[in-house]
Chains A and B, each alone.
Chain A
């Protein structure tokens, strides 16, 4: 018995001058009470599957095969049948929940609309049911929230509402399209649990679409891996994730950084954009095991011998364990010893910096950073981690001189880049020269390039400020292009013609071309696909290893930081709550917040048993506000009266420092929390 059964589905989108084979012969099924993960990178066809199931294929689509829900075929439904099918048969949770909620209708009414349409409820009964549904998805004070509008909700809250809307349709199949994009790690887990819950208690089939294998792994029963519109591997989640047999699945998994410190292995190349159904293996160009057969015939999907439901489309299934042959890098320790030995003059010094964004109207304002002190020597790499809203990006802007400190000082290579309290205001050519000593690599690679300037123009921008002649500029630009492994022809192109990975290489090239003393990477890979992210992380690791340059690497993703930072700083609501050598902080976290972050970070493969020690925070970040005392007090399960009243300063605990007075008692407390949740 299946809820959804997709049989040999192919979708080609034909538009004038353009043809895209979005899906080529996709088959898989979802059973009641089962959570199936549909994973792969963008362009793999995940969303197209969702659209086919809902019956919302884009204009110009030519579809073959079947999409069976029960005993009807969604592809061949007429309008009336489709209307009945949508919602009741399948309901979808959209990627951007705030955008998917109507802005001009209260969320309560939106849910009542669903209940009225699909469950024949009305009036008070519908409202009561709506309130109950809100409570089940974890919305506090649900009664009051019924009258809220979408713009009044935080991202996490909006996603909960979206889930309640979808389940309010009482569908047989629930689809979630990237439900946790943009959410913080601590929230991601909670949201994903909602889907598991929907499958377990209501017996719905759940199709969970995600680019992020690691995060959905633990709630899925089975996973289906898509590549270039084809299913390359599918099977029980545990098997596929632990011992993947398809080279693409393996590449995908090895590209994901891991908080445990497993090194990232990058796979070169990019996903092809197919114009027609492939007659070879679409992964052939990037595969290390490919041979003539792979490039002339398309591998059929066949069950893995002895694997139960496990099936594969590959001529050369891999059986070795994933991590074999990749010894842990010894580099980190050497480097740490080196920086400790001879103290060089600091490249970056931040002294007790505060940043307050004044609110435009009247008093108050947003306190983005509260007393941050940092010191960075040449050759050193500092990782900065924290959830959204913790002040990471403000820190980047502060270091770059794009934001002035409200109090405190920031010095880059001995100079100030912006007016600071009690120092002369830098200006003119000297300021512009000084600015080029520090460079920023942005989160949005394409958006950080001027849309109407060529790539060559953008890369040369810092050299222009330094006053180099065109000939010198060209020489430096070509040198840096080679280092980024970019082709010369890219110089004449415009940003919108680039892929995300190319654009980020260009961004790094621009940062590097003036040979600055400091490079700040502000979430440089969060907008990229997993295998591309691995490639860019490789490039960044190489750049960060330059001995005469310091780097700051800012990320919400702890795992990416672990790869190459020497030291790490954990930010929470504008304060440093813990800092220390990267391995020390990650292996023996001290602060409850660091413990919570690490505990909720997704892990692949066998977990190392740290689950029992994880700290669970009690509220969403959006609901907590930092008043006096410890900023975490409102969310910390171990907070006492002292935490709420007393400001916490960084104290040394072994090699690292943490801003929490209860650190020595924590191990015992956590043990107790695990027993009585």
Chain B
């Protein structure tokens, strides 16, 4: 015991406190609250855009093109004389709407495919998974570019594009989940209790395999917004005069080099903050899910 340092202890009755144990959940909660607050603000801005700005979405102030912030234009105007501030607000409608709709579509389609492939296996699984493989052997943004070029512009087409690029990931996720759930005793229990295959799928596997989907979906919404904006930036998504953050950034890109920052910076900032909201929410949820698993 010679090498053990003797630490002069206090009285045995004084408690020794091991720190930690109470902070694990707090950061996750804060992230969730921050993310949800950001998203609420963005949603409110989208809804009440007409009240928050005196200019319309596509209203042109022909006398004042590319004016700097201040005066009657809070954030200045772009090269067409449209008010940046009001367009940043209006753009939230299209950006949020398309992203949410696309992710919802991807979740529904991907989950169904994953469920069926994972539970029944066999040739169906093989075919579905090969299709997913081909989809996933391209970087997702490249894939989105290709699909967008194929389908062309338009809100519905953009929703379908972004959903199509994301659905394979959900299919794979749900399939993996179903395959591991299928090995658990409760599925055997359902089968020996006489449940039909549809019953096993619908009543037992579906509700349990959605857990990871719920965590991934918010993060995915953020990604969908970035993709949408990226497509618009390259001219393959929403195009001017409709208000969309990516298209607005694109319009002002050339002016930035000359130091006229107000056309591109504000819409980008709005996009960034909104995506950050989704990221915070998703990360917080993931933390919470991990904590529960441990």
Contacts and interface: CB of A to CB of B under 8 A. Distances in A.
Interface string A419-443: 0000000000000110110111011
B200 to A, nearest CB: 10
Contact of B203 (A84, A439, A450): A450
Interface in B74-95: none
B21 A58 contact: yes
B6 A72 contact: yes
B18 A61 contact: yes
A451 B207 CA distance: 9
A432 B1 contact: no
Nearest to B292: A496
A453 B1 contact: no
A613 interface: no
Contacts of A61: 16-18, 21
Contacts of B207: 452-453
B189 interface: yes
A672 interface: no
B193 A439 contact: yes
Interface in B169-209: 184-186, 188-196, 199, 203-204, 207-208
B10 interface: yes
B3 A88 contact: yes
B134 interface: no
B1 A89 contact: yes
Given A61-B21, A70-B4, A81-B4, A442 B12 contact: no
B21 A59 contact: yes
A73 B16 CA distance: 11
B195 A465 contact: yes
B7 A77 contact: yes
B194 A15 contact: no
Interface in B1-27: 1, 3-7, 9-10, 12-22, 25
B119 to A, nearest CB: 15
A129 B4 CA distance: 25
Contacts of B7: 72-73, 76-78, 81
A435 B5 contact: no
A7 B12 CA distance: 9
A435 B188 contact: no
B188 A84 contact: no
Contacts of B5: 72, 77-78, 80-81, 84
A449 B186 contact: yes
B185 A450 contact: no
Given A63-B16, A440-B192, A510-B189, A69 B25 contact: no
Given A73-B7, A450-B208, A13 B21 contact: yes
A433 B186 contact: no
A443 B9 contact: no
Contacts of B25: 16
Nearest to B20: A59
Nearest to A431: B194
B4 A72 contact: yes
Contacts of B6: 71-72
A64 B16 CA distance: 6
Given A61-B21, A81-B7, A450-B204, A442 B189 contact: yes
B1 A70 contact: yes
B15 A69 contact: no
A638 B10 CA distance: 64
B288 to A, nearest CB: 14
A441 to B, nearest CB: 9
Contacts, number: 148
A444 interface: yes
A401 B196 CA distance: 14
A301 B20 CA distance: 33
A517 interface: no
Contacts of B203: 450, 453
A645 to B, nearest CB: 38
Contacts of A14: 21-22
Contact of A73 (B9, B20, B184): B9
Nearest to B210: A452
Nearest to B189: A448
A461 B190 contact: yes
A70 to B, nearest CB: 3
- B5, B9, B22, B193 — most chain A CB neighbours (10 Å): B193
A417 to B, nearest CB: 9
A435 B199 CA distance: 15
Interface in B137-172: none
Contacts of B18: 57-63
Contacts of B199: 464
B184 A433 contact: no
Interface in A449-465: 449-453, 458, 461-462, 464-465
Interface string A61-96: 111111001111101111011001100110000000
A486 interface: no
Contacts of B3: 84, 88
A402 B191 contact: yes
B1 A447 contact: no
B144 to A, nearest CB: 34
A400 interface: yes
A57 B20 CA distance: 11
A491 interface: no
Interface of B: 1, 3-7, 9-10, 12-22, 25, 184-186, 188-196, 199, 203-204, 207-208
Q: Which 8 A-B pairs have the closest CB atoms?
A: A60-B21, A465-B194, A59-B20, A59-B21, A70-B1, A432-B194, A461-B193, A448-B185
Given A8-B12, A77-B5, A461-B193, 20 more contacts: A14-B21, A15-B22, A57-B18, A59-B22, A60-B22, A63-B17, A64-B13, A65-B12, A75-B16, A80-B5, A84-B4, A89-B1, A432-B196, A433-B194, A442-B185, A448-B186, A450-B189, A462-B194, A465-B193, A507-B189
24 contacts: A8-B12, A59-B18, A59-B21, A60-B18, A60-B21, A61-B17, A63-B16, A64-B13, A64-B16, A66-B9, A72-B6, A73-B7, A84-B4, A397-B188, A439-B193, A440-B189, A442-B188, A442-B189, A447-B185, A448-B186, A450-B203, A452-B208, A453-B204, A464-B195
